[in-house]
């Protein structure tokens, strides 16, 4: 399983360097102390970075970020029910214990800095554990 994750991360890095940039920036922001108190241990953000990189390579993801509370936020390419459902399904299949937050246009208007994005909460989003019924 870890071998598959490593391959997925390498493919994501090779295929989406520009999109992965905000995964790196959000990790650096959080671990560099700019994000204030961390909600999780530092190692957890390193693991979330791998999830973020793989998420940024998904077909309907324009950009991805690590959130301070441990969620992953994405800006979708297409903001419709079918595309959102497909992205959420793919994400939860790969990350059954994670939480994905879709950023709306309104979110991106009000949260126009990296700091305001990483401080967004993912608690209003349903976790993959709840979606899959494995909680």
DSSP secondary structure letter of residue 121: -
The burial class, CB within 10 Å (0-12 / 13-18 / 19+), for 16 is buried
Contact 85, 107 (CB under 8 A): no
pLDDT tens across 28-62, in order? 999 987 656 899 999 999 999 999 999 999 999 99
Would you give the distance in Å from CA 66 to the centre of its chain?
5
**In sequence order, what are the beta bridge partners of 74?**
64, 102
Q: How confident is the model at residue 112 (pLDDT cuts 50, 70, 90)?
A: confident
Q: How confident is the model at residue 133 (pLDDT cuts 50, 70, 90)?
A: confident
Strands (E), 1-135: 61-66, 72-76, 100-102
Q: What is the pLDDT of residue 95?
A: 95
What is the value of pTM for the model shown?
0.82
């Amino acid at each position: 399983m870890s071998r598959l994750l490593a391959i997925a991360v390498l493919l994501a890095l090779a295929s989406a360097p520009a999109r992965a940039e905000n995964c790196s920036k959000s990790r650096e922001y959080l671990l560099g102390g700019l994000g204030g108190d961390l909600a999780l241990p530092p190692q957890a953000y390193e693991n979330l970075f791998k999830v973020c990189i793989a998420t940024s390579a998904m077909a309907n993801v324009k950009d991805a970020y690590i959130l301070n509370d441990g969620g992953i936020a994405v800006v979708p390419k297409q903001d419709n029910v079918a595309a959102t459902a497909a992205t959420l399904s793919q994400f939860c299949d790969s990350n059954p214990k994670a939480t994905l937050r879709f950023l709306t246009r309104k979110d991106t208007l009000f949260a126009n800095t990296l700091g305001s994005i990483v401080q967004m909460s993912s608690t209003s989003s349903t976790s993959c554990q709840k979606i899959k019924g494995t909680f």
